[in-house]
Amino acid sequence: MASPWWQRAVVYQLYPRSFSDSNGDGVGDLRGVVDRLDYLEWLGVGGLWLNPIHPSPNADWGYDVADYCDVHPELGTLADADRLIAAANRRGIEIVLDLVPGHTSDEHPWFSDASKRGWYIWSDEAREGTSVFGGPSWTERDGAWYFHAFHAKQPNVNWLNDEVRDAFDRILRFWFDRGVAGFRIDVSHDFVRDGEGHVRRDLTHDVLRSWRRIADEYDPPRVLIGETWVHDLAELMTFYGQGDELHMAFNFPFLFASLEELGAVAARTEALLPEGAWPIWALSNHDVVRFPTRMCDGDEAKVRRALRILLSLRGTPVLYQGDELGLEQVAVPPDRIRDVAERDGCRTPIPWTRSGGWREPWLPLGDTSRNVEDERSDPASVLNLVRELIAARSTHV
Ligand code: NOJ
Ligand code: CA
């Protein structure tokens, strides 16, 4: 049997707001992605993971979802999503969306629907706790307190409620039926919380198993990729279950290793992986400092070394947009910071040309000396190295 697409492909993580802007309003959008499929096909990637595309007040840039079955108007429409899926598929590129099951926006209609009070985690009294973004994890609304692991505008969902499970099953099917090839699952290691906001790993595994059954109903089966932010590799492996949970669990010990340690972390990962489980590797994402700055001190020789490692391991490599250019973290001036956790420096727009190729982008461009146009025409560029490394993989898998 041929191996599934995600075992053959290099996946490209695409941050839609900062990828490509089709209408010049300064915000990247889905039509912009379609416009750049030539580039992505030329690069040789076989899958795109798109950060959240849904309507959102953007308290956490799309991770505060107000409607799981629609597209944010700044990014496009549902019809644009369909067109993107079809156009990408025609080029042999699969689309993976971001699923955010742990919390919704407080502006999601569920949250203000009195009949759905049991869909969230409420307490009659104030409780102690600190959220990931700082500040309390319980916030008062109309005389009661709700739990939020992240921003106060991201109330946690009550996974002990079967109606919530059903609602998310429908969301999975909604997108799978539209041709989406899988999901990257936000906070997939601990999105299930009890009535006090405590993590319930046992039930988290249970939900992952139920989604795997849904993913396996499809032909071809859909893929589940977890944002498993755990620091212990043995613990990471539990999310593969008995081959009945995640297909791939993101490896943060690898991502946070030094350049010198990458090989050793990869070897430890391989030694611990359960029989038949498939590793996934990334050096950067939209939450952390870009790897050329974090691991390589901006030294291009080191950037090339890191990319050679990433793209030669067994497993699925994930390039975060800009990795292929060797793009560094951008020093975003304080008055341009938009993110609650100040992660803007890794989310700045892709420089398409020396002058950027953007009209007044929502975040500053930073240094454009590394840009697609110049690197594409330079056979010795980082971009062309990445393209060659991807092409070399395809002759081996
Ligand atoms: C992980 C996402 O990658 C990050 O951007 C977000 O802030 C948190 N989960 C909360 O959804
Ligand atoms: Ca736009």
Measured from the CB, is residue 63 less than 6 Å from ligand 1? yes
Atom of ligand 1 nearest to the CA of 151: 10
pLDDT number for residue 222: 98
Is the pLDDT at 1 greater than 70? The verdict is: no
29: nearest Cα among 12, 13, 50: 50
Measured from the CB, is residue 191 less than 6 Å from ligand 1? no
Is the pLDDT at 177 greater than 70? The verdict is: yes
Measured from the CB, is residue 175 less than 6 Å from ligand 1? no
CA-closest residue to ligand 1 atom 6: 63
150 within domain boundaries? no
Question: Cα(72)–Cα(74) distance, rounded to whole angstroms?
Answer: 5
**How does the average pLDDT of the chain come out, rounded?**
98
pLDDT number for residue 2: 85
pLDDT number for residue 327: 98
Measured from the CB, is residue 287 less than 6 Å from ligand 1? yes
Enclosing domain of residue 279: 8-102+162-394
- The tens digit of pLDDT for each residue in 254-294 reads 999 999 999 999 999 999 999 999 999 999 999 999 999 99
Q: 345 C-alpha vs ligand 2 centroid, how far in Å?
A: 20
Q: What is the number of structural domains in the chain? A: 1
pLDDT number for residue 397: 61
137 within domain boundaries? no
133 within domain boundaries? no
The catalytic position among 113, 196, 217, 342 is 217
CA-closest residue to ligand 1 atom 3: 287
148 within domain boundaries? no
- In this structure, what are the phi and psi dihedrals at residue 94, rounded to the nearest 5 degrees? -95, 155
215: nearest Cα among 203, 204, 223, 227: 223
Ligand at minimal distance from the CA of 16 is 2
| 46, 11 Cβ separation under 8 angstroms | yes
Share of the chain above pLDDT 70, in %: 99
Atom of ligand 1 nearest to the CA of 133: 7
Matching residue, tokens 């099917």: 173
Give 75-101 as a DSSP string. Answer: T--HHHHHHHHHHHHHTT-EEEEEE--
135 within domain boundaries? no
Strand duo 144-147 + 122-123: pairing: antiparallel
Q: Bridge partners of 223?
A: 182
CATH number of domain containing 346 = 3.20.20.80
pLDDT number for residue 394: 85
The catalytic position among 186, 245, 323, 324 is 186
Is the pLDDT at 36 greater than 80? The verdict is: yes
pLDDT band at 71 (very low <50, low <70, confident <90, very high): very high
Question: Cα(257)–Cα(393) distance, rounded to whole angstroms?
Answer: 23
Q: Has 270 been annotated as catalytic?
A: no
234 within domain boundaries? yes
Q: Has 186 been annotated as catalytic?
A: yes
Q: What angle do CA 15, 16, 22 make, to 5 degrees?
A: 145
173 within domain boundaries? yes
118 within domain boundaries? no
